[in-house]
Amino acid sequence: MGVAGLIFVGLIGIGGGVFALFNGVWTPEQTMDVPVTCPADTPEITKGTTVKALVWNIQFGAGRANEFFYDGGAAVGVTEQEVIDTLDAIGEVLVRYDPDIVILQEVDRDSRRTHYYDELTEILSRAPYPCHVATPYHKAGYVPHPPQEHLGQVDMQLAVLSRYRIDKATRHQLALLKESWVRQQFNLKRALMETDFPIAGGGEFKAFNTHLAAFSRGDGTLEEQTDQVAGHLESAESAGIPWLIGADFNALPPGDDPRRLGTAADLYAETSPITELYDSYNPAVPLHEHRDNPGPWRTWIPYGSDRADRTLDYVFTGAEVDIQTFTVLKGVIGVSDHHPLLMEF
């Protein structure tokens, strides 16, 4: 074979590799139905019932022994034993606090970095719930980043587990980061998951779950995503439907000056994007608590510390839902970089 032939074969090989890389990219529709697993005889929520719920970003079940590349470290994946130990710890938390509804972010289901464990199935084997729904928001056959060790295959999802019957769940695509088209294909595709629970005797309750953009660095993405989320909340509110959202908003409370975080200050806008949610709905933690006594409500824990230094995770409700108790579970450390939120409503 001549030089021209070798070049031609090489180009075919490169083209095939590029095609295979992009062919493994997931492109969700703007609105998608989410499959529901739920036995028909699962009891429904009764109006007036007190429901216990737990909200938690579980940091893809990777534990706390490593500083990951997106936080300034070098780690991409973890050992299989670290995944098993972390899943055991998550199961122990759910069994100990016994919530009726569990709202989770960062659940790996088929990712190289966590040894391809289906973490939703693993959690359910440790803390059984009859009903569950889940939808991806970072899914690709191969992510060619970071340079020192590619992330490879990833499938990270939002999930809701429940002892009450779930009728329906819907995935709403949110705005993407303002970056190149190529980066967008392999980066997170943030979403809002809307889960519908029938109420005995008629009506429904909605639980919303999301994890908004990190590292947007003032490009407007976080504000756009918050506006999109607020639109869905307002639709439920204007229809008189009781609802709750538990989420990692990746935003500081309104009035919390990001400059106190030093070099991390540029991750957060001076005016918090979630101000509109505080203005329109019922927060589990009032703003004056964040201002006057912030320590108990901080949820995100920097690497190498066991003390949270900022609030990123929140719960809001509409007028038809009354939060009776709310706690950030400060005793749960060493499992995730986020503390769980526990409430009764």
Q: Give the pLDDT score at 52.
A: 98
Distance CA 211, CA 143 (A): 20
Whether 9 has a pLDDT exceeding 90, the answer reads no
**CA dist list (Å): 245 to 215, 284, 299, 313, 323:** 22, 10, 16, 10, 12
Tens digit of each residue's pLDDT (9 = 90 or more) over 91-139 = 999 999 999 999 999 999 999 999 999 999 999 999 999 999 999 999 9
CA atoms within 13 A on the CB side of 155: 15
Q: Give the pLDDT score at 277.
A: 98
Bridge partners of residue 57, in order along the sequence: 105
Both structure tokens of 7:
């070049």
What's the mean per-residue pLDDT of the chain?
94
Distance CA 154, CA 35 (A): 20
Whether 60 has a pLDDT exceeding 70, the answer reads yes
Tokens 């216990």 belong to residue: 52
More confident of the two residues 344 and 19: 344
The string over 82-121, giving b where at least 16 C-beta atoms fall within 10 Å of a residue's C-beta and e elsewhere, is: bbebbbebbbebbeebebbbbbbbbbbbbbbbbbebbbbe
Please calculate the CA angle 335-330-61 and round it to the nearest 5 degrees: 15
Contact 233, 281 (CB under 8 A): yes
Mean pLDDT of the region 259-283: 95
**Residue 6's pLDDT band (cuts 50, 70, 90):** very low
Report field, pTM of the whole predicted structure over 0.85: yes
Both structure tokens of 189:
């595709």
Element (H, E) at 205: strand 204-211
Q: Give the pLDDT score at 216.
A: 82
Both structure tokens of 216:
């947007």
Distance CA 271, CA 292 (A): 18
Whether 14 has a pLDDT exceeding 90, the answer reads no
The string over 173-195, giving b where at least 16 C-beta atoms fall within 10 Å of a residue's C-beta and e elsewhere, is: bbbbbeeeeeeebbbbbbbbbbb
